[in-house]
Structure 1
Amino acid sequence: MDRDDEPEELGAEACLRLLSTVPVGRVVYTEHALPAVLPVAFEVAPDGRLLLAVRRGSATARRLDGTVVAFQADRLDPDTRSGWSVLVHGRADILRDPEQILRALRSGLRSWVGEPDPVFVALAPELISGRRISAAGRPVRHS
């Protein structure tokens, strides 16, 4: 393997910056004692928490509330075999503060299925890791 092919480990700030460039990621949680993975719309809040938009009244919202979850997002280019991936672990809690909910609504964040009145789940990052890889001899496309 060429030195250029080795993944670059990313710091927390770089990871959050990259996360802010994509609208959808995957939340990993436990359902009936098994891992479950669900694509969700999200945004990085100014305080560094991830705000996930899920369907109101969904079992997913109930299962996420008050639990430790993982969240993963990436941007990969199959042609150049390059890109990045970020993984976040932390506690998820349904937003209940009316001001925070209003702020999330004003930002335009909506659930991936397009529900106009989503539930917002705040994920407070405790562990953040990321990697970027570029194909040998090809520049990394920064997003």
Structure 2
Amino acid sequence: MRELDRAEALRLLATVSLGRIVFTHRALPAVRPVNHLVDGEDVVIRIHGGGALASLSAPADAPGVVVAYEADAMDPDTHLGWSVVVTGYAQPVLDAKDLDRYADLLHPWVERATTTATLRIHPDLVTGFRLEAAAAPATPGGCRPRRESRP
């Protein structure tokens, strides 16, 4: 397992479109799958009114609501892949140009009549790791065993 730096973690996060948002709902931890896009370092999601995620639309003058966002790509056969967690404040997107751009780029996977809010998560903390294949063990003297070619 290798730790990822911030830039590599955000680059990998941008290669997938589905993750899980972790937030507080009725004073308890809650997790919901949502699709996202990465805009610079920010993670952007769109939400519908009436659901648990609607509570994340904090007033514009508030600093936002603390959330975590996790996404990964793991191969179930090889057990190789990566996982990234972004922790920061979720704030509503209010700029009309940004709202229009995100509406064009990010379509919720669940069909609903209207999307009521777009949230931007600005990461204060970005952590991640990559599960990699183990290197071949070195032989005494520091040499790696030679692979034989098969006909």
Structure 1 length as normaliser, TM-score?
A: 0.83
Aligned partner of 2:56 in structure 1 is 63
Conserved? CA contact 2:56–2:90, under 8 Å: no
Aligned partner of 2:101 in structure 1 is 103
Matches within 5 A, 1:1-143: 7-45=1-39, 47-63=40-56, 65=58, 66-107=64-105, 109-115=106-112, 117-118=114-115, 119-136=117-134
Conserved? CA contact 2:88–2:123, under 8 Å: yes
1-structure distance, mates of 2:7, 2:34: 22
Equivalent AA in structure 2 for residue 25 of structure 1: G
More moved, 60-69 vs 72-81: 60-69
2-structure distance, mates of 1:53, 1:126: 20
2-structure distance, mates of 1:13, 1:115: 34
1-structure distance, mates of 2:114, 2:135: 47
Aligned partner of 1:141 in structure 2 is none
2-structure distance, mates of 1:116, 1:41: 17
Cα–Cα, structure 1 residues 48 and 20, in superposed 2: closer, same or farther, change >3 Å? same
Task: Give 5+ residue unaligned stretches, structure 1.
Answer: 1-6, 139-143
Give the number of the structure whose alpha-carbon radius of gyration is greater. Answer: 2
Conserved? CA contact 2:3–2:129, under 8 Å: yes
More moved, 55-64 vs 74-83: 55-64
Deviations 1:76-134 (A, max 9, x none): 00110110000010000111111110110122x02231336422100001000000012
Conserved? CA contact 1:25–1:41, under 8 Å: yes
Question: % of aligned pairs identical?
Answer: 39
1-structure distance, mates of 2:107, 2:55: 18
Equivalent AA in structure 2 for residue 58 of structure 1: G
Task: Give 5+ residue unaligned stretches, structure 2.
Answer: 59-63, 137-151
Equivalent AA in structure 2 for residue 87 of structure 1: V
Secondary structure of the residue that 1:132 maps to in structure 2? strand
More moved, 21-30 vs 63-72: 63-72
Conserved? CA contact 1:61–1:94, under 8 Å: no
Which structure has more RCO (C-alpha within 8 Å, separation ≥ 6)?
1
2-structure distance, mates of 1:94, 1:23: 20
